[in-house]
Chain A
Amino acid sequence: MEAAVLKGTQNGYELIFDDRAAMEDVFSTLEKLLDSLKTQTITSNKQISFDIMAGNRIITANDRQRLETVFANYDTFSIHKIVSDAITKEKAKSIKEQENVHVMARTIRNGQDVTVEGDVLFLGQIHQGGKLLVSGNIFVMGNVEGIIQAGFPNVENKFIIGDVRSAQQVRIGEQFAVMDDDMRAKINSRTIMYINDLHTLEFGELNELKQISPKFFNQIGGITNG
């Protein structure tokens, strides 16, 4: 197999890179290929967009940039998308993290910011001045006297469930509530917090979760009756 092959499909043109070939060979073959293609299509000015199939090879930011400079030499050719079947361990880990529910039992003290990817089941303690910043949802069973934020830094479709009456602040995405006495009077130990359609923080009851967000309810394993 050549280092780079052109293939036509129903959806357009694909450039398939051999993932066992050296990247240098891929580039030189690609340039030859595009040159010959250019002479063949010289008469028509039709724009051709390629899907690049990289196979089991990770296309780094450098490679991507170099590909773009190669394609910039041809007026009528452009890259539609680059598809790679491989991902870095780091990326894979971050995907896994995001889908995990992390069980945390630690103490977060004054001045400490703890950032977590994914959901958190919190069993520990957050002291006044401590912050727990979570990209996903937070299920609180521990003692929160500091600040908790779900959907960090700005995702709104996240939930906080549990007793947060002793917290200083509760945040979801960019919305926040300061836990003063007025606020405390509105909630109980089984309150859920979420962002409503008007983009404001709202409180609901745990047994209304299914009505508030059927999607989230199913996602955390809620079973609909009947």
Chain B
Amino acid sequence: MGKAYVITSGKGGVGKTTSTANIGTALAMMGKKVCLMDLDLGLRNLDVVLGLDNRIMYDIVDVADGRAKLAQALVKDKRFDDLLYLLPAAQNTDKDALNENQVMDIVEELKPEFDYVLIDCPAGIEQGFMNAIAGADSAIIVTTPEISAVRDADRVVGLLEQNPLQEQPQLIINRIRKHMMDDGSVMDIDEITHHLGVDLLGVIVDDDEVISTSNHGEPVVLDTDSLAGQGYRDIARRLEGESVPLMNLETETAKPGFWQRVTGWFKRS
């Protein structure tokens, strides 16, 4: 029986979809069977980031309304044999086209088949958010060091406290610019984690590669040299229960050989 994680943030544009695609891909690289579920109805992007947009036949609303079977709607990512699947969102409806029970049923149907079900939550805290958390066992909250993103993440943590999932939420701090944290112009990692009172799952540095790779439909985790990719691979290993120390932002450039060794080791596993 797999576990369902919802990836959420409150605020838009902080990297929910990118994180979903990359964590899912990293887990598939580790040999786990993963289903990525896009719930951003009407504004779907997860298929584009994964480079699967041209293979969609049916979407989640078709499944919920009985127009297609779940297996028909799942899109397989051929790069990972039989490990990574996408359940696309509908593009021609809005967030109210689904309700909590329909999402819950679909997640329950997916969980026995997969090790991980990652639910990409739409921005906002309306029906789409409620749908996304309804089926999840745990939540991963994505924020950036900007005050507006942290404020919205705080709101989401509050909402998750009111509708508790089986497990405590975890936090990803995305788009970290080391020099801005150092000169104090943004909140640092400890401050954000302490303020939100949520366990830290991982940190992702701001990296141009994230955008350029996703423009090619290739998640950045596939790039072994990228620091952001490294961050996502670390997160995947932590989800698997390994204890991986937090990326040392100080020495990131000083010791490139170290990362080479880590990723080399990672590939063998």
Instruction: Tell me which residues across on chain A come within 8 A of B159, comparing CB atoms.
Output: 111
Instruction: Tell me which residues across on chain A come within 8 A of B191, comparing CB atoms.
Output: none
Q: Tell me the bound Cα distance from A109 to B162 in angstroms.
A: 11
Closest to B10 in A: A110
* Cβ-defined contact, A112 with B151, below 8 A: no
Instruction: Tell me which residues across on chain A come within 8 A of B195, comparing CB atoms.
Output: 127
Q: Is A107 part of the contact surface with B, judged by Cβ < 8 Å?
A: yes
Q: How many chain-A residues does the 8 Å CB contact rule pick out?
A: 9
Q: Tell me the bound Cα distance from A129 to B159 in angstroms.
A: 14
Q: Is A128 part of the contact surface with B, judged by Cβ < 8 Å?
A: yes
| Chain A 121-138 interface 0/1 with B at a Cβ cutoff of 8 Å (1 = within) | 000000111100000000
Instruction: Tell me which residues across on chain B come within 8 A of A110, comparing CB atoms.
Output: 151-152, 154-155, 158
Instruction: Tell me which residues across on chain B come within 8 A of A130, comparing CB atoms.
Output: 158
* Cβ-defined contact, B197 with A129, below 8 A: no
Instruction: Tell me which residues across on chain B come within 8 A of A107, comparing CB atoms.
Output: 197
Closest to A129 in B: B151
Q: Is B34 part of the contact surface with A, judged by Cβ < 8 Å?
A: no
Closest to A111 in B: B155
A-B contact count (CB 8 A): 24
Q: Is B225 part of the contact surface with A, judged by Cβ < 8 Å?
A: no
Q: Tell me the bound Cα distance from A128 to B153 in angstroms.
A: 12
| Chain B 134-167 interface 0/1 with A at a Cβ cutoff of 8 Å (1 = within) | 0000000000000000011011011101000000
| Chain A 91-119 interface 0/1 with B at a Cβ cutoff of 8 Å (1 = within) | 00000000000000001011110000000
Q: Tell me the bound Cα distance from A127 to B197 in angstroms.
A: 11
Q: Tell me the bound Cα distance from A109 to B154 in angstroms.
A: 6
Q: Tell me the bound Cα distance from A107 to B160 in angstroms.
A: 13
Instruction: Tell me which residues across on chain B come within 8 A of A127, comparing CB atoms.
Output: 154, 195
Closest to B161 in A: A109
Closest to A143 in B: B195
Q: Tell me the bound Cα distance from A107 to B195 in angstroms.
A: 10
Nearest chain A CB to B243's CB is how many angstroms away? 27
Nearest chain A CB to B112's CB is how many angstroms away? 35
24 contacts between A and B (CB under 8 A): A107-B197, A109-B154, A109-B155, A109-B157, A109-B158, A109-B161, A110-B151, A110-B152, A110-B154, A110-B155, A110-B158, A111-B154, A111-B155, A111-B158, A111-B159, A112-B158, A127-B154, A127-B195, A128-B151, A128-B154, A129-B151, A129-B154, A129-B155, A130-B158
Interface positions of A (Cβ within 8 A of B): 107, 109-112, 127-130
